[in-house]
Structure 1
Amino acid sequence: MKPLNSRCYATVTTSEKLSVKTRIENQRKAQAAMLDYFYITRGLQFLVAESMSKNAPLFNDHLLEKLDCDTPDDDDADIALSITRFLRFHPINEFEPFFESLGLKPSEYSRLLPSDKMFLNEDAFLLENYNTFWIYGIGLKQMGKIFKEAREVLEEVSYDWSSMHRVLSLLRDLCFSDSELCELIKKHPRLVFEDSGEWTLFLAGFLTKLGLSKSELSSFFLIFPEIEVKKCVLNLKHCFLFLKQIKMECDKMGKIFRAHSSWLAACSLKKPRTLLDRLNVGTRRLCQVIQENPEEMKKWTMGLKVQPLPPTGEEEASRLMKTQFLINLGYEENSEEMERAVKKFRGRGSELQQRFDFLVSLGLNEKDVRNMVNAFPQILCQASDLLEAKVICLFCGNYRFT
């Protein structure tokens, strides 16, 4: 059995008897020695070196424990000199005091330590990010949270710093103070770091085009949903196309986005055609429902089962008008042919007779119009001005060929 190192054992015993005052003095000397080592010997920037020497107590204490076993038995030995001698022959992993100085515990930064590097100067990308954060007033603990949660900031990926600068300038311009901006980036680092902030810039431009004011845009970012910025953009874009496809008026769309963008950004809506079938309504009714209560859209997201909307008196009256109109055309009541025709005739029932009469008023024979509608029912789904243009085109064609 190998005997215990008497020197180490004796030193540990002595160390345990040190007064609190002596320990504090040793820690102060250790910090001074570490600053000298990081700044003078290793050539790190003074800002980084000072932070690492003063804000990594666990690392410094661990280093002092090692010195107890490696320095001579001399009570008057100078701590600073001992540290200098020790570091000369025992290089340390500089990433450990660096991450601890940002407020991270060893259990939190262990996965962030690079496997192929020991010296901070080997990772210029990491130091560049550190300096950029400091310039924009982001505190050490906020930096630590960003480095821990946004892995792409510790990993060597390509960043467009000019784009990131535009994002930070944009957020500052939205009346965010330095403290608010720090809290925002701390809470949502993806706003700046996801694709160098390109999606954030696109998002801000998109919402501005939809009518959001500067204050409304500021409020939107303050309650930004906990999702990727790209996903947020895609959800809002899909919602815009959804409302456009159901023919909602532009000013009504803008009103909805101005008041409800924060939760719309987190919703993945079903496709319009699927939703119209599930709800058993037309675009006019769907627009009305959304305008009366936009939050109904929360029930129409991907993965949720959609229940048909209850019928209204107007819809029932419209269906009766459609049925009567088809009977006048010669369809048999309650037949399969009539049921298929009812589904093809979109819009209100009152419009069918109006458009039929309009075609007759343009000079077409009533019997010809009847045959035309029987052969192609969708013709009555078109607006009157479009029908008139097509009839004029037909008349002009006959005139040229006669």
Structure 2
Amino acid sequence: MTIPEAFSIILSRRFSSTSAAATTTIRRLSPYPNLPGIHSKYKPKVVEEAQKALTDYLHTTRSLPFTFAEHIGKNSIVSLANLIRKIDFSAPTFSRSFRRLLRYQPINEFEFFFESIGIDHNEVPGLLPSNKFFFSEDGSVLNAAYTLSGFGFPWNMLGKLYKEEVSIFSKGSSELSARLDGFKEYGFGNLSVVGICLAFPYLLSVEGGLSSDIDALFGDLKRVFVELEMGCCVEGNVDAWYEVCSKVRVFYDLGCEKGKVGELICRRKELFLECPEEVLVQKANYFCKFGVRKDCVGSFLLQSPEIFNLDLETPVISVLGLLEHFGLNTEELLDVSQKYLHVLGRNKMANLPNVMKALDLHEWLFNKIKSSNGQLLVTYTVSGPDEDIDKAYVNALKRIESSRTSTHTMSKLDFLRGIGFGENALTIKVLKNLHGSSTELQERFDFLLGTGIKYSKLCLQIRMAVRILSQSPGILEEKINFLCQEMGSSLQYLDNFPAFLCFDLENRVKRRYGYYLWLKENGLCTENYSIASLVATSEKKFLARLFRIHPAAPKQYLEGSSYKIPFNNSQENSMIR
């Protein structure tokens, strides 16, 4: 089968229309919105009459061209339903009542417009201009839509352009037309340019003339369409052009160089033609999780076609078995086992990138995968049904599944496995002291990562002091700021004493540290205490230490008034870290 024939078959499966007329046909949304109080047998007629009335209102009363009024009327079903609900429904009088509503309660025309161009109605409120209801108050958005629609852009796909490059809709009609006509000079027709611009909206927003960057992009597209003989397959089909261009964009987004992507794609024609865009994106996102450069992921994907047929979600992996398969020797495996006990056992292939980050082996593994063109990953399987199964984990899992809070507990367990903890007894021990929903736990974990703590070290910190994930990001931020700015320490201190983040900041850390500084400044204490010694010591032992410094110190500390010191970033101290 030739490439054009194969591509034609693929397109026939993915798109229901191949004519130019079909691409500009109004895409009708569900004609049956939620309309309480209106019997289902009346809904089709009610919606039809409301759409007609709205179209007439926009055309006759608001002076919009009929074609565009109809686009808005037919494609703003949620906004329309909100209007319908304002009327006490009566079948015989509905049409008249609805028209009266439009006459005496003017609508926010921008709300209907934004929904009609394909923007989700829930996002519309954030896009509405302030203190403006009518296009007559600001017609730039509508005029841009007229120009784009007149060129061939499907009305209800204009939202893609608006959400990604809002500045397009502030440009004048002549400027947009000139830019679009300029793209045709590369040898593409109107509908081809439409599909290209939908995939690359920045083409319409970039200032100035046609740059070398744009030349390179169109050069890639032309090479792909010519060498893959796609012209006859996608002619007259905006969706098909958009699909192909979106695949090219995946590799641009991965950092592959414009002007060279076309050549790389043409070396893997079958891969590019047969693999849907969503699969390309899914595979790209998966390998980007290894923390490597995106352009490395892009070139790897184009060189490793078998990866696209590999299930990267559901297969089970044995951590040690996989590391051995990828080349770690016995001594290296023993070192991993001793240092990263919490990662050992089984996990899901979907979690492999984070498992490797928890072992600090993510870049090593990706380089192994890439150098083998994916073969090492493709050929890996668990050696047997009993490989790397932790019986204590299995028994604990059974108890969880039969408990009353199984759903909540399992979601927390999934979180732990997702960040790299394996199916082992130590993970269950950590789980027992983990508080919060999986969403809250992920938010706290992501916050701590964002502070600059290394992934593998953060997992080790959680293993040592799991309660650090029981606090909100705001509280964690306050404690980290105090540790680094006021106590003069650093994030690295948490590698050895992560429990610092578990202690009460006001009543424990600040209070003890403040008194310690006061004693030092007044020459009453000559010893240097570590942060852990100051914070983690029990209250009884801490007071005993103060008594050894001075008999009156415990009483003064407990009263806590005369020694308070304001903290600031310039404070110096000589604490042992």
Normalising by structure 1, we get a TM-score of 0.45
Point out the structure with the larger helix share.
1
Q: Which has the larger radius of gyration?
A: 1
